[in-house]
Every structure is written in structure tokens, then in C-alpha cells.
Structure 1
Amino acid sequence: MTQVPAEYYQIMEQLQAVDFVLIELTLYLDTHPDDMEAIQQFNQFTKERKRIKKTFESQFGPLLQYGNSYSGYPWNWRDSPWPWQV
């Protein structure tokens, strides 16, 4: 497996933290659908997740398959490590 730079882990940790917040907000909003502040937080963190994902993918390649992430040229899904391997 290829040596992974420290920045890979730093960005991945940021992404995981935002994902955790989004999951918690989703669970909360399932039972409090009229909480405008929570909806605004959800949308803010969704925007932040897209920003972090774009940063990660521009440096280290795609995170998700099936049309959720673009591939560089040549097809870089075969490049390791894959996000779930680290």
C-alpha cells in the first residue's frame, strides 16, 4: 500500500467530524422537523461537507462511487489506498 501523507488523515478526520454532526442533526430533525435553527445548522454543515469533500478529492482522489464523485484521468478508482482502507 502507498504511504499516505499526514494531510490525508487531517482532511479525512474533518470529513468524519462533519458527517457525525450531520447524522446527529438528521436524527434530531426526524423528531423535531420544525426546528428552523437545526435546519439551518444542517444546511451549513452540508455546505461544509461539500467543501471538505472537494478539497479531499482534489488532492487524493474520489471518495464515493456510482456518480457521487468524479474520476480523474486516467480512471483513478483503482488507485489505493481507498478511504475505507485507512
Structure 2
Amino acid sequence: MMISQMNQSQLLHWIDMVSFAVVEITEYLDTHPDDEEALKYFNHYADLRRTALRAYAQNYTPLTIDTANPDNYWRWASDPWPWEGGDC
């Protein structure tokens, strides 16, 4: 399913999955920094994560400061979080 076809709950779940992959491969790369296949895997999932976070920020609310509106960075902290009874 394409990100543009996901509802809020599905997109949040996708962000969780790709974030898990990024964290796990980062830990592997800490001990295997020369593994080029692992680095490709990391780059792929890091790109998927960035794309998903941007889509979530654009359609709902930013989950991280780096996806917040640069004209109003600090508003992101006052929007309701998904676990605070949002539309998820």
C-alpha cells in the first residue's frame, strides 16, 4: 500500500515498523560499520521513515521537530499526540 493511501492509524503503524528497522540496523552497523549491504538497508529504511514522517506531519501533525513547519516550530508541541485520543 502506498503512503498516500494509508489512513492515520496505518501510517502511524508504518512509521513504527520502519523506525524499528532503522534502530535495529543502526545497532548492527555500530559493530559492523563496513557492511555495505547493511548500509544500503539502513539508507533504504531511513528514507522510508523520513518520507512517512513528512507525510504524517503534512496530513496530521508532526511527530518530530524536524518535520514541524519551519515558520512555526514550536506549535508542534501543542498539537494533540496520536495517543491522546486523536483520530487513530
Q: How many Å separate the matches in 2 of 1:39 and 1:69?
A: 24
Aligned-pair identity in percent equals 31
- The aligned length equals 78
TM-score (norm 1): 0.76
Structure 2: runs of 5 or more not aligned: 1-5
Residue 70 of structure 1 corresponds to which residue in structure 2?
68
| DSSP 3-state at the match of 1:33 | coil
Assess, with a 3 A threshold, how the Cα gap between structure 1 residues 78 and 31 changes in structure 2: closer, same or farther. same
Q: By how many angstroms is 1:78 displaced?
A: 2.1
Q: Please list every run of at least 4 consecutive aligned residues from structure 1 whose deviation after the TM superposition is greater than 6 angstroms.
A: none
Greater RCO (CA < 8 Å, at least 6 residues apart): 1
Q: How many Å separate the matches in 2 of 1:72 and 1:12?
A: 22
